[in-house]
Amino acid sequence: MDTNIPVPVKKRPNGLIKGLGTFFKDIYKIHLFILRFFKEAFLPPFEFKEVVRQCYEVGVRSFTLISVTGFIVGFIFTKQSRPSLSTFGANSWLPSLVSIAIMRALAPLVTALIASGKVGSSIGAELGSMRVTEQIDAMEVSGTNPFKYLVCTRVLATTLTIPILATYTAFIGLLGGYLNISLNEGISYTAFVQQFFSPLVFLDFTASLIKSIVFGFTIGIVGCYQGYYSDKGTEGVGKAANGAVVTAMFLVFIEEVIIVQITGNFR
């Protein structure tokens, strides 16, 4: 073979421009993906059975981990807060401090982070693998709308289930906190519960619920987006799972900051 033939070099955009182009293209695609969700999720035919099945899957997948994590968070937070309050002789405020921390921030946040890891990665990998093995195409050619069946059901399931799991985490965190306090201060459960709820106002519950709904939606939509548009090949499945976790966790923290700022204005 003659190696002296000059190879035509195609002029390609440099890395930064290409990177920016990909970034804005992705933003546009995510935007369309979310719009499509709202367009299709609330129009018949509804996939009630699949939504219920997915809710069960989301709940079951995260239940054990959330139980353990919620309990540990409540227990450790109480333990770590005690010395600071003791300095001011304010040990009696411990239940109130725990309640504010758990209800306003820890329960929704911990639940969302656990669910990002467990549920988000699982959704990303599942849809990614379905894309790679042409199962999504198979659904499409058999007259089924795969977006409605796979994406809408999963996003609705996470949006509905994460708030329930966050409420459960708060309850388990409360138990963890109570155990620590009862071991150290010997307070009764009734007194603890009274003090736990006394500083809480309606806004705390509402804000926590709104946060959990937003987190649930984010985890679902990010997991589905990553999986639904994953690259061909097994590498694409890994990337989808990883992308689902990392992006969802990042967005959860950003949303936490934004929602705290907004709800802070109503206090």
Partner 1 sequence: MEKTKVNIDYNNKVISLRGLEKSFEDYTVLRGIDLDLYQGENLVVLGRSGSGKSVLIKLISGLLRPDKGTVEVLGNDVLALNDRQLRELRIRIGFSFQNSALYDSMTVRKNLEFPLVRNRKGITRKEINTAVDTVLEAVGLSQTINQMPAELSGGQRKRIGIARTLILNPEIMLYDEPTAGLDPITCIEINDLINEVQQNYKTSSIIITHDLTCAKMTGDRISMLIEGQFQRTGTFEEVFDTDDARIKPFFDYNFIA
Write out the residues near partner 1 by the rule CB under 8 A.
Answer: 10, 129-130, 133-135, 137-138, 140-145
Q: With beta carbons less than 8 A apart as the criterion, state whether 222 and 154 touch.
A: no
DSSP code, position 186: -
The whole-angstrom separation of Cα 253 and Cα 260 is 11
Structure token digits, residue 11: 């002029």
Nearer to partner 1 by Cβ, of 9 and 141: the residue is 141
Closest distance to partner 1 from the beta carbon of 10 (Å): 8
Residue 144 CB, shortest distance to partner 1, in Å, is 5
Taking the least distance from each CB to partner 1, the nearer of 11 and 267 is 11
| C-beta closer to partner 1: residue 96 or 145 | 145
Q: Return d(Cα 121, Cα 220) in angstroms, integer.
A: 10
Nearest distance, CB of residue 126 and partner 1, angstroms: 8
Q: Which C-beta is closer to partner 1: that of 130 or that of 170?
A: 130
The residues, any chain, with a CB within 8 Å of residue 28's CB and separated by 6 or more, are none
Question: From the CB of 83, what's the least distance to partner 1, in Å?
Answer: 50
For residue 32, the minimal CB distance to partner 1 (Å) is 14
C-alpha 145/C-alpha 173 separation (Å) is: 41
Closest CA to 35 of 152, 162, 130, 209: 152
**Exposure on the CB side of residue 2, measured as CA atoms within 13 A:** 4
Nearest distance, CB of residue 93 and partner 1, angstroms: 50
**Residue the block writes with tokens 């388990």:** 172
Give whichever of 103 and 150 is closer to partner 1, judged by the CB atom: 150
Task: Please say which residue, 135 or 242, places its beta carbon nearer to partner 1.
Answer: 135
